[in-house]
Structure 1
Amino acid sequence: MGTEDDTVVGPVPIWNPDPKVVADAAVTRFGRYVTECTGTTFDSYLDLWAWSVDHLEQFWATIWDYFEILADGHPTTVLAESSMPGARWFLGTRLNYAEHALRYGADDTVAVTAVAEDGTTTRTTRGQLRAQVAAVSGWLREAGVHPGDRVVGYLPNTTETLVAFLAAASIGAVWSACAQDYSAHGAAARFAQLEPVVLFAADGYSWNGRSYDRRSEVTALQQALPTLRATVHVPNLGLPIDIEADSGGTHATWEQATARSAELRFEQVAFDAPLWVLFSSGTTGLPKGIVHGHGGVLLEHLKMLALHLDVGPSKPLFWYTTTNWMMWNIVASGLLVGAPIVLYDGSPSYPDTARLWQVAAAEQVAMLGVSPGYLLASAKAGLQPGRELDLRALRTIGATGAPLSAASYQWVHDAVGPSIQLASTSGGTDVVGGFAGSAPTTPVWAGEISAPNLGVALEAWNEAGQPVVGEVGELVVTKPMPSMPLYFWNDPDGERYRDAYFATYPGVWRHGDWMQVTEHGSVIVSGRSDSTLNRHGVRLGSADIYDAVDKLPQITDSLVVGAELGGGRYWLVLFVVLADDSTLDGELTSEIEQAIATSASPRHVPDDIITLDTLPHTRTGKRLEVPAKRLIQGHALATVASRDAVDNFDALAQFTKYAGGPARPGSAPPA
């Protein structure tokens, strides 16, 4: 399978694959394997993708064989029921995710490197990781934990969290976690739904140079979880713990839970047995518990990490995340392909914006994952990581969580290095994976995602439910993926699940994003379809406005809202946070409007531009367009978002003063 350089038409890529990298890439070897098995040949990645969705069952069966899945017996049926929702994969097979995570690597090779905000670095070998997982799983068994029981973690991004998860998974228990920036109330809103039997909880965490003691929050969380039979206290800050407390059932320290050596055993569970529960942000109500299975996650993450991101035993993976975000689960799955993984616990910008680049250099990572916001901040800080640091091992930079501006592609090319592939990815917690992304064999166009992911029947649909190319439409997936949710927690008839994804197009997954498939096969995601801007009947993508505004050095954050206000009124307003030395005068206003008109279109220019001191985000850093829009439309604050789902609830509350829109056309409400 070669590159697409000779077959691509359209704009010139900002990055093209190195033929030497292509020849050695895992996706190239996989393509040859498919050819050997089926006789089908492929001239490009898009050829392989088309085969993978046209022959869906054969593709996933080949993934199973290629990665040598360990299971009780070989599957005879790949897809027993292809309807959505309700697709059933690999019926009759039994396996365990944790067994695959711990099967690769000699005992003396490094499996996990944990870096604390203060620079403290701890390395854990494969042998040590196996021993710790065996000890904790033995402790859980002695505590009476059985397959299907829920084990939860109120924990930062550390090795102990990884061990606790793998231990729970090894015995077939169901895992769920959240970071400690959630209050006890916020954590309980998630965990109480699961009726957990064991809680792992740290004494606190560090952020921006400060330590946060969370012992009182742990006690409050224990009291909010009456089903707990045991609590394991993890000494992240080294604070004393009163393990004689009445709440939380039996108490143990981390040292006690890992003290006894035990045999490493794996409970074989059904392919669709629950592995973990991830939660929606909770900005529109009680967080939804999204349940994923052992087998679906295993296959999806093997495909994504090996074939798309090209990480493996000699290619360390570092993706900045917290335990609140699905990217933590992706990083943990780096173990599935034998990759050394790097965990970082702390602020990505402390003591300055260069922090993550410094960690990537120190650990010589091959794959670095960051948010689009971090790339933007790095550019605005004037960083030159490729010149200032030793990034010789770095081959790929991943970015997800929001649309990635074209300017960030150019900055990576110029400031990090022209040989570095910037791999923008679009996916979601819903499938704990990606819909579109890159591979080492795909070109990269600035502002675009290189291609649909293998095995993902991705299309853009217009309002008539027809696939379109070169036009913006709804992001849909027309065939099932193994990592689609098994179900939502506490949704016995599946109504909430169906309403979330299948109410608009029955039998077809509608994700809620605007997307365009280009003539050369790439993908452009332009924002959430539930926060669409609709100016004079023309649908606009918020990402087009952010792409223009984020380039301006005077602006550090922005939020655009298009609100229907009744009586035919529509208010398109841009809220901005200014840099310390900037003022929103007539000159800057004109510069913003000109940038938007030039980069997007005159229709995108807002009615008003308003400065605020700060803007709200979800706990994973996403802009809160829909809650802000609903407040402007007059909805009550208590109905638009949960306090614990927002990083700064006061920043969201300030939008209530804009309820009803401007006092007159073209004028903002008084502050």
Structure 2
Amino acid sequence: MAALAETPRGVAEGDLLWTPPAAYCALSGVERFRHWVNARNGLDLEDYEALRQWSVDELEQFWGACWDYFDIRSETPYLRVLDRRTMPGARWFEGARLNYAEHLLRREADHPETVVFHHSSELRAPATMRWDELGGQVRILAEQMRKLGVGPGDRVASYMPNVPETAIAMLATTAIGAIWAAASPEFGARAVIDRFAQIKPKLLFAVDGYRFAGQEFPREGEVEQILGSLDSLQHTVWLTYLHPDRPPPAGTIPWGKLLDQPEVPRSGFRYERVGYDHPLWILFSSGTTGLPKAVVHSHVGVLLEHCKVGAFHLGLRPGSRPFFYSTTGWMMWNILLACLLQDAAPVLYDGSPIAPDSGVLWRIAEQARVTHLGISPGFVQVMQKDGLRPRLHYQLPDLEMILLVGSPSTPETFSWLHEAVKPDLWVTSQSGGTEIASAFVGASPTLPVHAGEIQARSLGMDVHVWDEQGQELRGQVGELVVTKPFPSMPLRFWNDEGDKRYRESYFSTWPGVWRHGDFIRINERGGCYILGRSDSMLNRYGVCIGTAEVYRSVERMEEILDSLIVCCELAGGRFFMPMFVKLRPGAVLDEDLRNRIARRLRADCSPRHVPDQMYRVDDIPYTLTGKKMEVPVRKILVGWPLEKAASRDAMLNPSAIDWFVWFRAQNRVMLSS
């Protein structure tokens, strides 16, 4: 391990860090598509921005062009691309009948013996899977599920880790028209029940346990609780993963037995082709407060969106090897498997990204010859403060892109990746969500990269910045809104009568306009900055402050491993804005460090950014998808009971929230008076 590395200094927001070579641009999917669109429509779209503007001005032409360009195969022709530009309720490609899994697996016929998955875990050595192995197991499982009585519209739930068996289960489920829903095994039983009880699954795929950071986590007890709470279940398929030598529980179907069947040839298998409004899967919101939203997506909408994002925004090509660190309960796992649409070979990993050390993911990237790596800015911070410089320890000749996911990224993170990993990397970020199974703003391989900046608004997403009165803002911070429909918007929320919760979540502020709940700024060149959730924005005496600005400044300091800041509105129009910091071992939150934090925030941000008080904590609470729990902490501090403010089973580190409950009790008078 290298000596402790300094955080890069001297880089400013918006500094030019990378310009794509002309040859790289010319070979990219988005550039090929631009030329194809120009030739097909007699247009002269000069660059990405011209293509983007056309894609939102001419929605029907753009998405119809995507249908043809990606050779979407439907059993019946569609009547129209879009029935009306209305949200919610827009209908895309009515009349078409297709299947998402069929499109993911159709490359098998072209080269069955080519590797399609690289996979490893803390329990399994690195291995690969070929296209014919994947397709063959999907067909066997799909037919066995049909024999168990699972069919179109039935819900199939998964409590499985990021291993090939889970991918096979998802593909088999969607191949027969059943509806997939997943929770990763680090979820506690209560969090799983909160999700699956809403949708009443017919079949459950369950695992006996997993290993993370060298520690074993048996899950038999959690599965028993889940089974006892879901009276809709008729079958449970059991994967012995943690202890392969142990027999499965009575009444369950062993995974191996279910798959130990005669081969089902491609020509003899029938995909269930479904209409535009047939559910593909149900993705769940984080559920840190209240019941998680059960977001229903369609085969048609997700297929079009995932073709677009993979080819045009991630820059995938046949033979690409993408590796996005994710659990099965996060939307990025679905995006990873969607890379199959571009004939790419995804890399799956189940385990810790930082144990036994912060080189774990780089060793996997080296071994699998990864081309596209998706990691969180928080992981990059860990590497920086560990002094890791991957370019000195790992051979990464194929790595061309790093995608920063999960939270806003700082200019220093971009710059450090260029310095410590590879100088000619395409380092980029994106922002979207579970609700759209994709991104509103993201990457383009034809655009330059500026420090801390998301490169552009995504194609087909009519993203704008509005103020509180619904007026367009330019170069200023405002609400991220989408003013025209897009195919991957949810069909609905499950069990949401009259779409009440769906409308309240996204359309209650401006009817007919999607308000996502993020604060965003778009500069004159179209670069985007996400400044955090609008419900966690720090409103300091009428001045709005993005938490991302604070974290960027403070977490560059060597003593600080992590931080969290909230603003509590108190009686009499008063505000209390505390900051909580997790320190490096040996560091002390003394008067000197407090003063240096305050000086840095004044210099980097403004005097308004300086907290009223600073407190040391052992850990910062995160959701299972890696987001800081600012809103639940704020609710606890102003008096909400823990059970209403946060769900422990939806947390990555449940014990971290206890300190804030204790803090509220100790400071009740200050926080109430």
Question: 1:462 aligned to 2:467?
Answer: yes
Contact 2:91 2:276 in 1 (8 A): no
Contact 2:119 2:349 in 1 (8 A): yes
Shift of 1:654: 2.0
Q: Confirm whether residue 290 of structure 1 aligns to residue 295 of structure 2.
A: yes
TM-score by length of 1: 0.95
Q: Distance in 1 between matches of 2:588 and 2:16?
A: 37
Distance 2:540 2:417 in 1: 33
CA deviations 1:563-592 (Å, max 9, x no partner) are 101212101111000000200112211221
Aligned to 1:338: 343
Looking at structure 1, the residues matched to 643 and 386 of structure 2 have their Cα atoms a distance apart, in angstroms, of 37
Of 75, 82, 85, which residue of structure 1 is paired with 2:85? 82
1:255 aligns with 256
Counterpart residue type for residue 26 of structure 1: G
Within the alignment, does 1:571 sit opposite 2:576 as a pair? yes
Q: Deviations over 1:477-532 (max 9, x none)?
A: 11111111110011021000000000011100001010001111111110110011
Alignment of 1:189 with 2:176, yes or no, is no
Per-residue deviation at 1:652?
1.3
Instruction: Look up the match of 2:439.
Output: 434
* Deviation digits for residues 637-665 of structure 1 (CA, Å, limit 9, x no counterpart): 11111221122333213212443996899
- Alignment counterpart, residue 50 of structure 2, candidates 39, 47, 54: 47
1:35 to 33, 38, 42: 38
Deviation at 1:114, TM superposition (A): 1.1
| Contact 1:152/1:199 (<8 A) preserved | yes
Residue 139 of structure 1 aligns to a residue in which SS? Answer: helix
Please name the residue that 2:4 is paired with.
Answer: none
Query: Within 5 A, what are the aligned runs for 1:394-433?
Result: 394-433=399-438
CA distance in 1, matches of 2:153, 2:169: 16
Q: Deviations over 1:168-222 (max 9, x none)?
A: 0000000011111112222111111111111111111110012222122222221
DSSP-derived class of the 1:434 partner: strand
Q: State the match for 2:250 in structure 1.
A: 245
Quote the residue 1:352 is aligned against.
Answer: 357
Conserved 8 A contact 1:133-1:264: no
**Aligned letter for 2:72?**
I
Alpha-carbon displacement from aligned partner over 1:118-148 (angstroms, at most 9, x marks no partner): 5611211000001000010011000011100
RMSD: 1.7
Q: State the secondary structure of the residue aligned to 1:221.
A: helix
Deviation at residue 245 of structure 1 after TM alignment: 2.5
Matching residue's letter, 1:410: S
Structure 2, unaligned runs of 5 or more: 1-12
Provide the residue aligned with 1:7 in structure 2. none
CA-CA distance at 1:444 after TM superposition: 1.2
Q: Are 2:77 and 2:95, in contact at CA under 8 Å, matched by a contact in 1?
A: no
**Contact 2:539-2:567 within 8 A present in 1 as well:** yes
| Pairing of 1:647-666 with structure 2 (within 5 A) | 647-659=652-664
Name the stretch that deviates more: 211-220 or 533-542.
211-220
Is the partner of 1:200 in helix, strand or coil?
strand
Q: Which residue of 2 aligns with 1:6?
A: none
Question: What pairs with 1:541-580 in structure 2 (closer than 5 Å)?
Answer: 541-580=546-585
Q: 1:75-224, aligned counterparts within 5 Å?
A: 75-105=78-108, 106-117=111-122, 120-224=125-229
**For residue 641 of structure 1, what is the amino acid of its counterpart?**
A
Distance 1:562 1:307 in 2: 39
Q: How does 1:603-614 map to 2 (within 5 A)?
A: 603-614=608-619
d(CA) in 2 for partners of 1:44 and 1:595?
40
Contact 2:98 2:274 (C-alpha < 8 Å) held by counterparts: yes
Matched with 1:591 is 596
Against the structure 1 CA distance between its residues 429 and 479, is the aligned structure 2 distance closer, same or farther, given a 3 Å change threshold?
A: same
Aligned equivalents of 2:66 and 2:370: distance in 1? 26
Distance 1:408 1:12, change over 3 A: closer
Alpha-carbon offset, residue 42 of structure 1: 2.2
Q: Confirm or deny: 8 A CA contact 2:563 2:582 kept in the other structure.
A: yes
Which amino acid in 1 is paired with 2:578?
V
Task: Give distance in 2, aligned partners of 1:143 and 1:235.
Answer: 21
Residues 492 and 373 (structure 1), Cα distance of their counterparts in 2 relative to 1, 3 Å cut:
same
The one-letter amino acid paired with 2:96 is T
Aligned length: 654
Structure 1 CA distance for aligned equivalents of residues 636 and 225 of structure 2 = 31
Contact 2:195 2:292 in 1 (8 A): yes
CA shift in 2, pair 1:533/1:661, >3 Å: farther
Q: Is the 8 A contact 1:426 1:437 kept in 2?
A: yes
Alignment of 1:319 with 2:324, yes or no, is yes
1:163 match: secondary structure: helix
CA contact (8 A) 2:453 2:529 kept: yes
Question: Which among 508, 517, 523 is matched to residue 512 of structure 1?
Answer: 517
Amino acid corresponding to residue 252 of structure 1 in structure 2? I
Equivalent in 65, 74, 80 of residue 68 of structure 2: 65
Q: Does residue 376 in structure 1 map to residue 377 in structure 2?
A: no
Greater mean alpha carbon deviation, residues 584-593 or residues 158-167: 584-593
After TM superposition, the structure 1 stretch with the greater mean CA deviation from structure 2, 236-245 or 293-302, is: 236-245
Q: Distance in 2 between matches of 1:205 and 1:252?
A: 19
Structure 1 counterpart SS, 2:308: helix
The sequence identity of aligned pairs, in percent, is 43
Deviations 1:49-90 (A, max 9, x none): 111111111000000000000112332300012211111100
Contact 2:188 2:650 in 1 (8 A): no
Structure 1 residue 455: deviation in Å?
0.5
1:470-485 to 2 correspondences below 5 Å: 470-485=475-490
For residue 536 of structure 2, the aligned residue among 528, 531, 548 is: 531
2: CA distance between counterparts of 1:60 and 1:244?
48
Q: CA deviation at 1:599?
A: 1.6
Question: Any conservation in 2 of the 1:413–1:420 contact (CA below 8 Å)?
Answer: yes
- Specify which structure has the bigger relative contact order, considering alpha-carbon pairs within 8 angstroms and separated by 6 or more residues: 2
Q: Which deviations, in whole Å up to 9, do the C-alpha atoms of 1:244-273 show, x marking residues without a partner?
A: 625xxxx31111111112243211101221
- Counterparts of 1:382-397 in structure 2, within 5 Å, are 382-397=387-402
For the residue of structure 1 that corresponds to 2:17, the secondary structure is: coil
Question: 8 Å contact 1:107–1:127 — kept in the other structure?
Answer: yes
Q: Which amino acid aligns with 2:272?
A: E
* SS of corresponding position for 1:94: coil
Q: Find the aligned partners of 1:618 and 1:12 in 2 and give their Cα distance.
A: 32
**CA distances 1:85-130 after superposition (whole Å, capped 9, x unpaired):** 1111000100000000000141100111111125611211000001
Distance 2:127 2:210 in 1: 16
Letter in 2 for 1:58: Q
Q: Secondary structure at the match of 1:14?
A: strand
Code of the residue aligned with 1:17 in structure 2: it is P
- Partners of 1:312 and 1:337 within 8 A in 2: yes
- Are the counterparts in 2 of residues 633 and 660 from structure 1 also a CA contact under 8 Å? no
For the 8 Å contact 1:618–1:645, the answer to whether it is kept is: yes
What amino acid is the match of 1:253?
A: P
How far did 1:622 drift? 0.5
The C-alpha deviation readout for 1:323-367, integer Å capped at 9, x for no partner, is: 111000001111111100000000111110111111111111110
5+ long unaligned stretches in structure 1: 1-9
What is the TM-score when the length of structure 2 is the normalising length? 0.95
